[in-house]
Structure 1
């Protein structure tokens, strides 16, 4: 920044300060700047600062109490939301995490997804029976769902130069069949626990809805802080002293200064 620019900035800054000073101490140049009225300005400034400090403390106390209420309300809503989500998962667990896949079958925590030439469909693991078998040309995994319908997943294993069809090792197919069986066992256990867990979660939700103690305590705290602020004798004294200083300045200059 050049010298001229510095001078301009200094002049503008000084001009703004003069305007601010005239605004804070109205009545004329002498009342705003003269040493004769320095004690009058100091009395008004001290009263302003004291009242402002008391107002700041009151605002801080109310802000802290309001923050406590907001935190309590957020915790209440978060607990209800968590229980709602748990109940929704228990009622409809969805597919769950992907556990693996082989050929046309993809295994998830709760379903087995089949992708074949006729499209894609899902078979629920609950009550599913999975059985490995091997044949001359294909290994097979037979799937029998709870309705009794059977699906056969084929895994060719004979080498064939005539096509580029994938070939599957017997151990890999057997291991995948075992993975399905273990997932079915886990799912059956999971489903058996659902009624008890659902009942417990629903009871916890009702209890959580009724438990507003933290919010009520925080709300009472906010009311108490506001009441104390209104009745604070120190703040009343500071406000009274400021009003007295403002009236004293009016008597001196004929002008009421801003607070």
Structure 2
């Protein structure tokens, strides 16, 4: 920035300061800057600062109560989300840990994934059945899906050995057994998890107390005689300044 730029910046700062000062003490130049009216300006300042201070204290009290209410609400939502997540997991655990793959088939802890025409479809592992049938040139896997539909998948010996297909089928049979056992365990736990979710949703006591306290704090601040007194003293000071200058001072933003 050159000298001209710095000069313009300084002038802008001075102009802003002068404008701000003028807005604090509106009217003629002599009222805003004259030594004769210093006491009048001081009178205005005292009551302006007092009003801003009590209003700031009130806002802080309300903000603190609102923060407590917001934290209580957020904590309640977090508890609900955790309980809902547990219910969702028991209803549908997802794929779980991935295991062996064989061509279009992928074995997971809770699902059998079948890929057809580039699209993968999950099927609950506890509800599928499959068996292998060996032919001269390929091994065929007969798959029964949970809805009763059947698929036959061909695994040519040139791409898949009998041992690879057998290993996958054995792993799938074991996985089906484990998945059925896991489903029974989840079904046994689900009622308690659903009850816990309902209880968490209904338990709003802490949230209710925090919001009641917030409203109490707001009411306390609205009825605070200190604020009313500061407001009245400020309005009286504005009246005095207006009688002197013919112009009423602006209400400070921090006092709103």
Shorter-chain TM-score above 0.5? yes
Gapped runs of 5+ residues in structure 2? 252-256
Question: 1:192, 1:37 → 2: CA distance?
Answer: 88
Mean Cα displacement is larger for which, 49-58 or 19-28? 19-28
State the shift of 1:107 in Å. Answer: 0.8
Question: 1:185, 1:200 → 2: CA distance?
Answer: 25
Residue 64 (structure 1) aligned with residue 57 (structure 2): no
Aligned match of 2:254? none
Question: 1:215, 1:120 → 2: CA distance?
Answer: 44
Question: 2:147, 2:238 → 1: CA distance?
Answer: 89
Aligned match of 1:166? 159
Question: 2:168, 2:91 → 1: CA distance?
Answer: 28
Question: 1:105, 1:153 within 8 Å by CA — same for their partners in 2?
Answer: no
Q: For 2:250, what is the secondary structure of its paired residue?
A: coil
What TM-score results when the alignment is normalised by the length of structure 2? 0.77
Aligned match of 1:76? 76
Following superposition of structure 1 onto structure 2, how do residues 14-33 of structure 1 map, counting pairs within 5 Å?
Answer: 14-33=14-33
Q: For 1:166, what is the secondary structure of its paired residue?
A: coil
Gapped runs of 5+ residues in structure 1? 158-164
Give per-residue Cα distances to partners, 1:109-133, cap 9 Å, x unaligned.
323234579x987654215566678
Q: How many residues align?
A: 250
What TM-score results when the alignment is normalised by the length of structure 1? 0.76
Question: 2:131, 2:169 within 8 Å by CA — same for their partners in 1?
Answer: yes
Q: Are residues 121 and 210 of structure 1, via their aligned partners in 2, closer, same or farther at CA, if it must alter by over 3 Å?
A: closer
Question: 2:123, 2:146 within 8 Å by CA — same for their partners in 1?
Answer: no
Task: From 199, 202, 207, give the equivalent of 1:207.
Answer: 199
Give per-residue Cα distances to partners, 1:51-72, cap 9 Å, x unaligned.
1122112112212222222232
Aligned match of 2:4? 4
Give per-residue Cα distances to partners, 1:205-245, cap 9 Å, x unaligned.
22122111121011111012112212334333332332232
Q: Are residues 130 and 45 of structure 1, via their aligned partners in 2, closer, same or farther at CA, if it must alter by over 3 Å?
A: same
Following superposition of structure 1 onto structure 2, how do residues 1-259 of structure 1 map, counting pairs within 5 Å?
Answer: 1-114=1-114, 124-126=124-126, 128=128, 165-168=158-161, 170=163, 172-259=164-251
Question: 1:203, 1:43 → 2: CA distance?
Answer: 65
Q: Are residues 182 and 43 of structure 1, via their aligned partners in 2, closer, same or farther at CA, if it must alter by over 3 Å?
A: farther
Question: 1:86, 1:33 → 2: CA distance?
Answer: 70
Question: 1:147, 1:3 → 2: CA distance?
Answer: 83
Question: 1:148, 1:256 → 2: CA distance?
Answer: 85
Question: 1:22, 1:32 within 8 Å by CA — same for their partners in 2?
Answer: yes
State the shift of 1:135 in Å. Answer: 7.7
Q: Are residues 234 and 122 of structure 1, via their aligned partners in 2, closer, same or farther at CA, if it must alter by over 3 Å?
A: closer
Give per-residue Cα distances to partners, 1:167-218, cap 9 Å, x unaligned.
4372x44543443234223311221023222211221122122111121011
